């Protein structure tokens, strides 16, 4: 093919590829043409996939579900949460995601992995040193937490069907044992922590209490006898209370003395009442009340100048005077006592502040010690308690059917790959043959108008089609007609076509030839070709030569089904 032909072919091919849409009918015809080749590749793909499917070991799967409980402190509602967080036994210390990460780790599953390796080695009589934990866990174990729950789904896959349930039971017992070990370990860490801190704070409490007692002794303060007195008499706030109370008592006594000194004879009843509130004056007060009762009874019978009444009045006046003196003396004595107490309670402000700080430190140390000892007792009780392991929702179960490989999918994939590969090979084969198989491609490459199509295996309909051709298009044509045959069309078929047209054209000169030089002698040209036989380069070559010869072509006559 010369340069002009190549350029022309490229232009037409690009135009065909960019402007025409995929013709499904052409693709269907392409598949029909290459059914045998595609069928061979499809059969080959199916055969190979059968070999793969039936020679690949089947993978079996077992599974179970287990409920994960919270961390060990969830059962200790009384434990001080601040201290528990320091110890590391709170629920925040281990989230479910962290828990699952631990359950997937070699520290938990290594014994199960060794169990699998041992069993496989015994059955295959070969070492399993090449099997690695990470690969085994990735390929064989699926550990998934159901969203929004504490339910853990665990599935184990293996080609050894008999190994599935033993491995699942091993994992189940390992996980349940792990839960109890983790709980005990967490509690032991807490107990170790409390033991250490109790020892520290016991020493601190003794030291702080000793300092407070020594300070109290040196400053004539109330000496602390034991821990229970820290928050009572030994408190500097209580010492100040004693002083204030004594001062208030002195003011009250002064007020009472003023009132007694201002009392008149008609206020004897008030002094009697006041004396009755003092336990020490109660006897004298009662005597006065008896005299008043006696006077009231005598006055009913006698007049006031009666000797008996006068004697009682004098006795009463004597007792009133005596009562006043005794009450005043008692109040003054009480005042002196209050003054002494107030004086004894007076301390420099700096002494009280320092003593208060020492007592506060002693109280805090003792409180912390008490709290630590309480938490330690709770942990000891929890450790002694027998706790149920994590609960199994479903027991380890072997699925009745293998989960892999899916033979149907492998066969379907093999068949599809065979068809796809066969189709590709067929396309490459047809591209190499460079043969035209459609009218649209003939028109596009030749750029001639299509006039009629004849079927090689239905010659009985030729007369009708050719008659229409002659009547509608060739009847008014002047001059001779040459049919230029392109491609390896059978000569006998060309002769039959010539005879049929000759009968219809009558005296019109007609020739069917493959030689362009011979066709130059004729006025009108018709290109005769057949798809499935004609090659693209032959058609393009003929078209270029006709263009160079400036020959006009009436149209394109095509043959099909000529093989």
Mean pLDDT, to the nearest integer, of 60-74? 72
Mean pLDDT lowest for which of 63-77, 160-174, 323-337?
63-77
Task: State the Cα–Cα distance between residues 174 and 455, nearest whole angstrom.
Answer: 80
In this predicted model, which residue has the larger pLDDT, 253 or 229? Answer: 253
In this predicted model, which residue has the larger pLDDT, 91 or 337? Answer: 337
In this predicted model, which residue has the larger pLDDT, 26 or 562? Answer: 26
What are the start-end ranges of the H helices in 236-348? 236-261, 268-276, 282-301, 307-345
pTM score, two decimals? Answer: 0.48
Q: What is the dihedral of CA 103, 107, 109, 113, to 10 degrees?
A: 160
What local confidence, expressed as pLDDT, does residue 264 receive? 58
pLDDT band for position 18 (cuts 50, 70, 90): very low
β partners of residue 510: 481
Q: Which residues contact 203 (CB under 8 A, 6 or more apart)?
A: none
pLDDT tens by residue, 270-282:
666 666 667 667 7
pLDDT surpassing 70 at residue 58 = yes
pLDDT band for position 124 (cuts 50, 70, 90): confident
What local confidence, expressed as pLDDT, does residue 156 receive? 92
Backbone angles phi, psi at 57, to 5 degrees: -65, 140
Among the ranges 65-69, 122-126, 151-155, 314-318, which has the highest mean pLDDT value?
Answer: 151-155
Residue ranges of domains in the chain:
33-56+405-435, 60-194+377-398, 228-346, 438-560
Closest CA to 169 of 60, 64, 69: 64
Mean pLDDT lowest for which of 46-50, 78-82, 155-159, 387-391?
78-82
Among the ranges 34-43, 88-97, 229-238, 362-371, which has the highest mean pLDDT value?
Answer: 34-43
Q: What residue has token string 């005043």?
A: 328
Mean pLDDT lowest for which of 442-446, 528-532, 553-557?
442-446
Contact between 504 and 534 (Cβ < 8 Å) = no
What local confidence, expressed as pLDDT, does residue 172 receive? 84
How big is the chain, counted in residues?
Answer: 563
Mean pLDDT lowest for which of 428-437, 518-527, 548-557?
548-557
H/E run at residue 173:
helix 164-218
Mean pLDDT, to the nearest integer, of 302-323? 80
What local confidence, expressed as pLDDT, does residue 327 receive? 79
What local confidence, expressed as pLDDT, does residue 266 receive? 47
In this predicted model, which residue has the larger pLDDT, 236 or 245? Answer: 245
What local confidence, expressed as pLDDT, does residue 88 receive? 55
Mean pLDDT lowest for which of 82-96, 107-121, 246-260, 301-315?
82-96
pLDDT band for position 40 (cuts 50, 70, 90): very high
Rounded mean pLDDT of the chain?
77
Listed in order, strand segments (DSSP E) in 124-181 are: 141-145, 151-158
Contact between 38 and 430 (Cβ < 8 Å) = no
Q: Which of the 8 DSSP states describes residue 269? A: H
Task: State the Cα–Cα distance between residues 175 and 126, nearest whole angstrom.
Answer: 29
Mean pLDDT, to the nearest integer, of 369-381? 83
pLDDT tens by residue, 509-540:
888 888 888 888 888 888 888 878 888 888 88
- The three-class DSSP label of residue 496 is helix
pLDDT surpassing 70 at residue 206 = yes
CATH architecture of 438-560: 3-Layer(aba) Sandwich (3.40)
What local confidence, expressed as pLDDT, does residue 250 receive? 84
What local confidence, expressed as pLDDT, does residue 390 receive? 67
Number of Cβ atoms within 10 Å of the Cβ of 119? 17
pLDDT tens by residue, 340-356:
777 766 667 687 778 77
Mean pLDDT, to the nearest integer, of 209-231? 64
Two tokens, residue 400? 């009745």
pLDDT surpassing 70 at residue 7 = no
In this predicted model, which residue has the larger pLDDT, 517 or 93? Answer: 517
In this predicted model, which residue has the larger pLDDT, 448 or 416? Answer: 416
In this predicted model, which residue has the larger pLDDT, 1 or 149? Answer: 149
pLDDT surpassing 70 at residue 122 = yes
Mean pLDDT lowest for which of 320-324, 372-376, 494-498?
320-324
Q: Which residues contact 66 (CB under 8 A, 6 or more apart)?
A: 151, 152, 154, 172, 175, 176, 390, 391, 392, 393
Mean pLDDT, to the nearest integer, of 453-480? 80
Mean pLDDT, to the nearest integer, of 398-402? 88
């Amino acid at each position: 093919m010369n340069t002009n032909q190549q350029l022309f072919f490229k232009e037409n091919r690009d135009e065909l590829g960019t402007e025409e849409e995929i013709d499904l009918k052409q693709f269907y015809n392409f598949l029909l043409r290459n059914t045998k080749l595609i069928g061979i590749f499809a059969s080959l793909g199916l055969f190979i996939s059968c070999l793969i499917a039936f020679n690949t070991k089947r993978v079996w799967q077992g599974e179970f579900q287990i409920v994960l409980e919270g961390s060990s402190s969830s059962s200790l509602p009384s434990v001080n949460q601040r201290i528990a967080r320091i110890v590391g036994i709170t629920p925040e210390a281990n989230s479910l995601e962290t828990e699952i990460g631990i359950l997937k780790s070699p520290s938990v599953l290594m014994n199960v992995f060794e169990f699998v390796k041992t069993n496989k080695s015994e059955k295959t009589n070969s070492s399993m040193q090449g099997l690695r934990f990470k690969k085994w866990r990735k390929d064989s174990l699926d550990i998934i937490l159901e969203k929004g729950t504490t339910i853990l789904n665990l599935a184990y896959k293996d080609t050894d069907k008999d190994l599935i349930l033993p491995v699942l039971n091993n994992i189940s017992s390992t996980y349940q044992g792990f839960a109890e070990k983790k709980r005990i370990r967490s509690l032991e860490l807490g107990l170790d922590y409390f033991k250490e801190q109790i020892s520290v704070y016991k020493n601190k409490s003794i030291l702080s209490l000793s300092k407070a007692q020594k300070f109290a002794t040196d400053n004539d303060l109330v000496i602390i006898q034991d821990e229970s007195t820290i928050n009572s008499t030994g408190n500097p706030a209580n010492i100040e209370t004693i002083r204030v109370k004594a001062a208030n008592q002195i003011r009250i006594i002064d007020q009472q003395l003023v009132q007694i000194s201002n009392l008149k004879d008609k206020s004897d009843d008030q002094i009697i009442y006041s004396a009755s509130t003092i336990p020490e004056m109660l006897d004298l007060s009662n005597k006065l009340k008896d005299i008043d009762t006696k006077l009231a009874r005598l006055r009913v019978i006698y007049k006031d100048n009666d000797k008996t009444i006068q004697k009682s009045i004098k006795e009463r006046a004597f007792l009133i005077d005596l009562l006043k003196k005794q009450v005043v003396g008692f109040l003054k004595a009480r005042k002196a006592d209050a003054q002494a107490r107030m004086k004894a309670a007076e301390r420099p402000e700096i002494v009280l502040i320092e003593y208060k700080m020492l007592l506060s430190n002693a109280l805090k140390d003792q409180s912390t010690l008490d709290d630590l000892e309480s938490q330690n007792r709770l942990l000891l009780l929890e450790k002694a308690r027998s706790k149920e392991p994590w609960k199994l929702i479903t027991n380890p179960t072997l699925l009745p059917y293998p989960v892999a490989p899916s033979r149907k999918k492998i066969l379907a994939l093999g068949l599809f790959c065979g068809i796809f590969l066969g189709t590709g090979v067929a396309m490459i084969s047809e591209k190499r043959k460079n043969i035209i198989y459609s009218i649209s491609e003939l028109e596009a490459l030749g750029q001639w108008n299509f006039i009629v199509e004849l079927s090689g295996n239905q010659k009985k309909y030729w007369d009708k089609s050719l008659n229409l051709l002659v009547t509608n298009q060739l009847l008014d044509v002047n001059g001779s007609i040459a049919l230029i045959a392109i491609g390896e069309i059978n000569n006998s078929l060309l002769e039959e076509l010539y005879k049929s047209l000759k009968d219809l054209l009558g005296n019109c000169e007609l020739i069917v030839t493959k030689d362009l030089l011979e066709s130059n002698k004729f006025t009108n040209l018709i290109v005769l070709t057949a798809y499935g036989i004609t090659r693209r380069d032959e058609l393009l070559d003929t078209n270029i030569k006709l263009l160079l010869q400036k020959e006009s072509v009436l149209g394109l006559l095509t043959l099909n089904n000529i093989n």
